[in-house]
Amino acid sequence: MACNTLVDITTLSPKFQELYAKAKDFVENECIPAEPLFAAQMGQGDQRWKVIPPVIEDLKKKARSLGLWNLFLGRDYAEGAGLTNLEYSLIAELTGRCPHLAPESMNCSAPDTGNMEVFAKYGNEAQKKKWLEPLLQGKIRSAFAMTEKRVASSDATNIETSIVRNGNEYVINGLKWWISGAGDPRCAVYLVMGKTDPNNKNPHRQQSIIIVPAGTPGVTVVRPMHVFGYDDAPEGHCEIVFKDVRVPLENMVLGEGRGFEIIQGRLGPGRIHHCMRSIGMAERALEYMMARVTDPSRRTFGKYLYEHGTIVADIAKSRMDIDQARFMVLNAAKRIDQVKAKGAMKEIGMAKAIVPTMLLTVLDRAMQAHGAAGISQDFPLARWYASGRTLRYADGPDEVHIAQIGKVELRRAEGIKQQFEKRDNASAKLLAQNKPKL
Amino acid sequence: MACNTLVDITTLSPKFQELYAKAKDFVENECIPAEPLFAAQMGQGDQRWKVIPPVIEDLKKKARSLGLWNLFLGRDYAEGAGLTNLEYSLIAELTGRCPHLAPESMNCSAPDTGNMEVFAKYGNEAQKKKWLEPLLQGKIRSAFAMTEKRVASSDATNIETSIVRNGNEYVINGLKWWISGAGDPRCAVYLVMGKTDPNNKNPHRQQSIIIVPAGTPGVTVVRPMHVFGYDDAPEGHCEIVFKDVRVPLENMVLGEGRGFEIIQGRLGPGRIHHCMRSIGMAERALEYMMARVTDPSRRTFGKYLYEHGTIVADIAKSRMDIDQARFMVLNAAKRIDQVKAKGAMKEIGMAKAIVPTMLLTVLDRAMQAHGAAGISQDFPLARWYASGRTLRYADGPDEVHIAQIGKVELRRAEGIKQQFEKRDNASAKLLAQNKPKL
Amino acid sequence: MACNTLVDITTLSPKFQELYAKAKDFVENECIPAEPLFAAQMGQGDQRWKVIPPVIEDLKKKARSLGLWNLFLGRDYAEGAGLTNLEYSLIAELTGRCPHLAPESMNCSAPDTGNMEVFAKYGNEAQKKKWLEPLLQGKIRSAFAMTEKRVASSDATNIETSIVRNGNEYVINGLKWWISGAGDPRCAVYLVMGKTDPNNKNPHRQQSIIIVPAGTPGVTVVRPMHVFGYDDAPEGHCEIVFKDVRVPLENMVLGEGRGFEIIQGRLGPGRIHHCMRSIGMAERALEYMMARVTDPSRRTFGKYLYEHGTIVADIAKSRMDIDQARFMVLNAAKRIDQVKAKGAMKEIGMAKAIVPTMLLTVLDRAMQAHGAAGISQDFPLARWYASGRTLRYADGPDEVHIAQIGKVELRRAEGIKQQFEKRDNASAKLLAQNKPKL
Amino acid sequence: MACNTLVDITTLSPKFQELYAKAKDFVENECIPAEPLFAAQMGQGDQRWKVIPPVIEDLKKKARSLGLWNLFLGRDYAEGAGLTNLEYSLIAELTGRCPHLAPESMNCSAPDTGNMEVFAKYGNEAQKKKWLEPLLQGKIRSAFAMTEKRVASSDATNIETSIVRNGNEYVINGLKWWISGAGDPRCAVYLVMGKTDPNNKNPHRQQSIIIVPAGTPGVTVVRPMHVFGYDDAPEGHCEIVFKDVRVPLENMVLGEGRGFEIIQGRLGPGRIHHCMRSIGMAERALEYMMARVTDPSRRTFGKYLYEHGTIVADIAKSRMDIDQARFMVLNAAKRIDQVKAKGAMKEIGMAKAIVPTMLLTVLDRAMQAHGAAGISQDFPLARWYASGRTLRYADGPDEVHIAQIGKVELRRAEGIKQQFEKRDNASAKLLAQNKPKL
């Protein structure tokens, strides 16, 4: 079991402990057992993109009735459930144990969470009423259209989509891809990033975020992108063409040129939620591994699997890898509570750099212990691996986070060198005072 | 470029060099450019399992006319092309660069290669005429049905499928899965492993291999297993039920109780072929990576990707990883030429333990450099990763190979300790003769 | 700087915060600047084993006057400073930054700490008066003589030293080595483990711990063992012959046959102290590294060292490695506070398995950034590396801890499998209730 | 045993095979058994720098009489033994098994080997007669004084030592350190690098190499640098002050401003020799490990050490690591034979980047299996570790080699991208010709 005395749930508020217990029960006894039914209710062929397995709505109702709803919206939001980031992180670990059902059941699934934050933080009243309200109710879903196919859009200054004001409308042209959730028949709205002022000397004032209702003429969902072999229907990660798409002026969020500011605000906590769900996924992977290696029907050459080679060591390493990573995530969450996401960039960056690789390592060991079954449709491990693999570049590739952490750390160098000099002086004085007599 | 002075192709026979040059040209200029056409010709939906893209037959004709045909069958086979294992390994590296088209085009693709070896080595004349002949012609395909769902069949003594003699027939009952190639409409025959004598005291004399023509009543192909999200249509890796399947007595290969002997003979060279194709795949992955990181359209924050962080180091490491692994494979291949597969078990085991992890590491770095595109259907990297991942347990998991290598190495311990003792005695004598004067 | 929001010192008691601040100031401004003087006062040649650099006594006086004395003795001891394990761990990180001066200055250095615990916990009043008293005063030093040369004494049942009762004396015969501190001229007493009852059927009742005053006839300190080329004078890690050594009956600790019980009690917290000091050492190594790579006089080919290759990534990784390891240690310390060492074996084992390798990795990166200077006597890095390397087998090798952690984790397997079964039943029921309509 | 079929010694010339067999016998049966005598004959205290253990001269006589002398000098040298680099590499692996005795016994030890090459390649007849002659006879030893204390002299343009012509003399001033061999009482001559023309616009024409006889007034050997705790007496790695040192004009090697050219020529093969000796050292470390883990007296908890945890896997990994690394070194050696060192820079760089880390990894595993004994003076493992650790920055740190390999590899990027474009065009044409009918 996870060794987590530093963040002892029994020391948190009784109200939270009760919520936590309810969430745990809901995930373990409602969501996880529903996974086979969800799979059975998935459509075949094209229907996979049109049918939402009904069990999802059942679970949503149940979660809502239990008060397990919109928990991601923290203390800063009137609409929120009032959890701290630390508290929500603990909940997110639970939902991560059943990643395809639990987050959505509790209306806490990406990308809706980030989009709701955008509407809540930057939307005007009309926008909130039209889009935030039904999102908070779990009646519609949404997508965030930023990544572009033809440029390296992880550097947002490279974005090419144009948003041109034309009379009382904006006209949008561009080619996006990897737009998660855009394949879902319930997806009602896109938040689209583009440039309203591509020649602005300040490269961070060129971009805007604009609301485009799904189905607006000129919007074509071209195809779902595959992650390893998975298309992740019905949500999907879609390639979308915006061709002379027209929306009214009031669809602009916050104002022209404020797009960069919005995406900055959208990040931060979200990264930690991904991380914490990954911890939950890793825990469940380790459980699968332990069940397998102690399964009498999997004995070979007269031994249980766990008695072979390095498997016990792999289990120990997974235990340690998970626990270490969890501390880094909880630490970042608590830091956000103290100084907001901006002040916790280093802690967030470290969690973001550590967790995805940890998750993949733990999953890989679990898959290896299962042999061929481990990478098949009969276990969720390979699918989680595929999904976890995206986290090594989503919201910035590992390399960028690591370089950034190094740079922040190096800011200490000057102070250290001054301290060294001070100490060297003190040492010299001591030596002079104590001429060695030997 | 690969640094491979130790095995200098220019020192091999002119005839082989010519063949090698033809194979290289065929793979680079015929097979690789045909990949998009192959994808376009793949069926949609259920048709994916029924339609073989016509380009395959075009390529087969071309390869055969060039003499690039059945090259896997080595010097020991009358039907073979007369290559040494070392030579064929070099060819296999080339075909590995285009793994979905080149091996099949040259009639060198698994599992047909291993099955042809079984027929050639152990089949009687009637069996050869009926099955080996059309396989050598590339007219039919085949499958090898060994792995079972309900037991850990990597230990062949666990196999449960029964083969019971009943009059002038054998009756087969069992549940197999991961039977590669069984989904292919051209798959005409299965070699099925089962037990004819489950109570034989010698656990290695219980098994037999029997020929089951596809379509025999009682054979049901239940479903394709998925590898990550890929079903690998049209070949597939299928779950198959054998329910009271009846075949005539002459379908027994080699004789009752000889199944274990046959699978032992089937391994060995095949492992090396997988390894060498993996080297070719890794080389091509590195090429994709280098093209990407020097692509001007992928610049971020004013720099080429290769100018960021640790990417140059990753390229260097991939270069070194590939070259080291190649030497291990070529060394094993040459060793097989010298002392047959049985004598080269240690060298084969080391190649088998090293190459798959190397391939996955190189692919992972290449995917990371591509961002989201790298794991999508727009590049072959993720698909190769999925396929390469199977090699870490196929033909024995890494753990088993590594433990085996360690055990073989430890056989030297006694000799070493005797040498230590001999040296200690010599040292003592020297010390006695040279009493230190200090 | 370390990111440690989870254990926020500002939330601990004001009294502890004050102590912590004093300790920090003492280590940084008194101990570290005294390192060169300590080196200058070290004797030359044989004198290295006879002269204790006088600066040590100066520092001890200062520490004692500041109340920084015997802090290792926790709440369970009347003589102790009353710190929790968590609190002392934070202090130990500070002293680890100056490992050759700070712990001894504060009378918190091994092996005296463990020995004082033995006397305090298991000694009778006379023993306490004679040995614990002067140890607590810092007037004498001590050694713990357990490890033997000729057997694998990490398994204490292998110990060969004999303790035979003869009249009103015990007679001790044995060959010990790696007896840390035995070279120190101030070392006044050994706690010696041996067998009083080698034929006892209970292998854990054969051993006893007996007090042997230094200088007792028959005790010969043969030589100091070297750690990488260091002899660690004046303390040393010595090989000692016990030849017909006679001590009075009252020197037995706790009673015959209780030796195993005593060493079990001696472990636990001590492991964590080593770990926490290692964190401090790793932090200081990282500081050396950062000073070096930003040193203008070390520029090559027109660049600062940190601008070359993978150095920034190495700094980031060290930052993350240290922070993760610290959490594991603090977690174990807090767990000991809650449930005693025996209940925290898993947490302690994980810290013990993680920290030494982390320390060596961070030191190695720092050495590499310094080039030749990094492994020389001009920096403490190589010496710390040598000392850190011993922690990978001291108090049990990594392999044993890792196997142990794996075994403990596997105890959960049965419960997990039951949960899986329960869930499978629930899933089956759900599927039955919702027959798919597709 | 090493698996090395690719470079099969039995296929090399009978003459070389005979030499190899003699060298093997000499190392195993003369050098290794003499190690304890060598240690016993080492002086104590200051004598360690004055006494050369007499056994060395005995071994030298024996080696010379066997024709095992100056084998490092290859085919390009009149004075050489006529071996190819590949052949000498195989010999160097043997001598690496006894690194403190075998190379010197066979007059093949650094830094003399590189210095002899300098004299042979760049010296005039008088210089050769005076210095090369006695070096080839093994009558004197020598040092190469390049590295400086105050600057990052791995970039030779940073060197500060001045060589100023003054009448018919040169006057040398500078501070060198890490001058290997300078502590040896037999060291008769230094090759000193300094700047004769510090203002030359071409930064590679500022340096010269000048001959300074040991004992020249103004030369002070300040201290030996330590490598971890080893001072490597009697050779040592010394800090040396050159203060107004005067030598005649004829002591200039090759001519003023040619220093850079000389050091470039001195590298290359030498790097490979270090690497190959490292392979031998790693093999012997693995032998120590295997003897230890099968030693009945080291059993714990009822098991041999090799039966615990991950030790068998560690042995297997060491076997694979060594074999892979050996191939890289032999490949580079053969490449040098084909195209000289300059043409083999990539192959040399890869061997240099791989081997030291491999050696340290193998040694570390062996030390771990020995527990405390492994890092003590009772086994050579820790000393070899210290010495192997220097190879990770000597002749260029790992980071530089890796970056360089990456850069060289990236030169292929343009060609690859052109090939991709060509293939894309071919693919497009194929698609156009075969409009999919589906």
B316 touches C at CB < 8 Å: no
Look up the CATH architecture of domain D143-256.
Answer: Beta Barrel (2.40)
Q: What is the C-alpha to C-alpha distance for residues D130 and D61, in angstroms, rounded to an integer?
A: 22
Chain D residues with beta carbon closer than 8 angstroms to that of B423: 28, 32-33
Residue B85 · residue B272 · CB < 8 Å: yes
CATH of A143-255, one of 3.30.9.10, 3.30.2320.50, 1.10.580.10, 2.40.110.10: 2.40.110.10
Upper half-sphere CA count for residue C87 (Cβ side, 13 Å): 22
pLDDT at residue number D76: 76
pLDDT at residue number C269: 74
Helix, strand and coil in chain C, % to nearest 5 = 55, 15, 30
**What ipTM, to 2 d.p.?**
0.95
Of C152, C392, C393, the CB nearest to D299: C152
Q: What distance lies between CA B219 and its chain's CA centroid?
A: 26
Confidence of residue D265 (pLDDT cuts 50, 70, 90): confident
Helix (H) or strand (E) holding D416: helix D413-433
Is there a shared CATH topology between the A9-109 domain and the A267-396 domain? no
In terms of Cβ atoms closer than 10 Å to its own Cβ (0-12, 13-18, 19+), residue C45 is exposed
Q: What is the C-alpha to C-alpha distance for residues C198 and B133, in angstroms, rounded to an integer?
A: 75
Mean pLDDT of A2-6: 79
Chain D residues with beta carbon closer than 8 angstroms to that of B43: 438
Q: What is the C-alpha to C-alpha distance for residues D351 and D404, in angstroms, rounded to an integer?
A: 13
pLDDT at residue number C216: 98
Chain A residues with beta carbon closer than 8 angstroms to that of B297: 150-152
pLDDT digits (tens, 9 = 90+) for C140-173: 999 999 999 999 888 889 999 999 999 999 999 9
Contacts with C260 (C-beta within 8 Å, 6 or more apart), sequence order: C156, C204, C205, C206, C207
Provide the residue-wise pLDDT of chain C in tens; the chain has 438 residues. Answer: 566 889 989 989 999 999 999 999 999 999 999 999 999 999 888 899 999 999 999 999 999 999 999 999 887 787 778 899 999 999 999 999 999 999 999 999 999 999 999 999 999 999 999 999 999 999 999 999 999 999 988 888 999 999 999 999 999 999 999 999 999 999 999 999 999 999 999 999 999 999 999 999 999 999 999 999 999 999 999 999 999 999 999 999 999 999 999 998 877 677 788 999 999 999 999 999 999 999 999 998 889 999 988 999 999 999 999 999 999 999 999 999 999 988 999 999 999 999 999 999 999 999 999 999 999 999 999 999 999 999 999 888 999 899 999 999 999 999 999 999 999 999 999 999 997 554
Pick the range with the lowest mean pLDDT from B47-61, B68-82, D376-390: B68-82
The overall average pLDDT reported for chain B is: 94
- At C240 the three-state DSSP class reads strand
pLDDT at residue number B3: 67
A296 touches B at CB < 8 Å: no
Q: Whole-prediction pTM value?
A: 0.96
Chain D residues with beta carbon closer than 8 angstroms to that of B47: 438
pLDDT digits (tens, 9 = 90+) for B355-376: 999 999 999 999 999 999 999 9
> Would the CB atoms of A312 and D309 count as touching at under 8 Å?
yes
pLDDT at residue number A348: 95
Of residues B192 and B273, the one with the higher pLDDT is B192
A328 touches C at CB < 8 Å: yes
pLDDT digits (tens, 9 = 90+) for A270-296: 778 899 999 999 999 999 999 999 999
B418 touches D at CB < 8 Å: no
The CATH fold assigned to B9-109 is Butyryl-Coa Dehydrogenase, subunit A; domain 1 (1.10.540)
pLDDT digits (tens, 9 = 90+) for B382-433: 999 999 999 999 888 999 899 999 999 999 999 999 999 999 999 999 999 9
> Would the CB atoms of C403 and A313 count as touching at under 8 Å?
yes
pLDDT at residue number D2: 66
Neighbours of A432 (CB within 10 A): 9
D312 touches A at CB < 8 Å: yes
> Would the CB atoms of A420 and C346 count as touching at under 8 Å?
no
pLDDT at residue number B437: 54
C32 touches A at CB < 8 Å: yes
pLDDT digits (tens, 9 = 90+) for D150-199: 998 888 899 999 999 999 999 999 999 999 999 999 999 999 999 999 99
pLDDT digits (tens, 9 = 90+) for A50-67: 999 999 999 999 999 999
Sign of the Cα pseudo-torsion (B209, B210, B211, B212, in order): negative
pLDDT digits (tens, 9 = 90+) for D84-119: 999 999 999 999 999 999 999 999 999 999 999 999
Residue C172 · residue C245 · CB < 8 Å: yes
Q: What is the C-alpha to C-alpha distance for residues C310 and B170, in angstroms, rounded to an integer?
A: 65
D309 touches C at CB < 8 Å: yes
Confidence of residue A438 (pLDDT cuts 50, 70, 90): very low
Q: What is the C-alpha to C-alpha distance for residues A314 and D309, in angstroms, rounded to an integer?
A: 11
> Would the CB atoms of A350 and C414 count as touching at under 8 Å?
no
Chain D residues with beta carbon closer than 8 angstroms to that of A310: 309-310, 313
Q: What is the 3-class SS of B86-126, one letter each residue?
A: HHHHHHHHHHHCCCCCHHHHCCCCCCHHHHHHHHHHHCCHH
Contacts with A386 (C-beta within 8 Å, 6 or more apart), sequence order: A227, A228, A229, A230, B228, B229, B375, B382
Q: What is the C-alpha to C-alpha distance for residues B382 and B389, in angstroms, rounded to an integer?
A: 10
Give the percent of chain B with pLDDT over 70: 98
Q: What is the C-alpha to C-alpha distance for residues D438 and D428, in angstroms, rounded to an integer?
A: 18
Confidence of residue A2 (pLDDT cuts 50, 70, 90): low
pLDDT at residue number A90: 96
Q: What is the C-alpha to C-alpha distance for residues B350 and D395, in angstroms, rounded to an integer?
A: 31
Q: Point out which residues pair with B211 in neighbouring strands.
A: B191
pLDDT digits (tens, 9 = 90+) for D279-288: 999 999 999 9
**Contacting C residues, span 149-208, partner chain D, CB-CB under 8 Å:** 150-152, 154-155, 158, 177-178
D365 touches B at CB < 8 Å: no
Chain B residue closest in CA terms to C306: B309
The CATH fold assigned to C267-396 is Butyryl-CoA Dehydrogenase, subunit A; domain 3 (1.20.140)
pLDDT higher than 90, residue B32? yes
> Would the CB atoms of B354 and D320 count as touching at under 8 Å?
yes
In angstroms, what separates the C-alpha of B88 from chain A's closest C-alpha? 28
Domain boundaries, chain C: 9-109, 143-255, 267-396
* C-alpha distances in Å from residue C138, one per residue of A245, B165, C111, C141, C143: 82, 87, 13, 7, 14
A41 touches C at CB < 8 Å: yes
> Would the CB atoms of D40 and B325 count as touching at under 8 Å?
no
CATH of B142-257, one of 3.40.50.150, 2.60.120.260, 3.30.700.30, 2.40.110.10: 2.40.110.10
Residue A140 · residue A132 · CB < 8 Å: no
In angstroms, what separates the C-alpha of C317 from chain B's closest C-alpha? 13
In angstroms, what separates the C-alpha of C313 from chain B's closest C-alpha? 7
Contacts with C324 (C-beta within 8 Å, 6 or more apart), sequence order: A324, A325, A327, A328, A354, C354, C358
Q: What is the C-alpha to C-alpha distance for residues B345 and B331, in angstroms, rounded to an integer?
A: 12
Chain B residue closest in CA terms to C310: B310
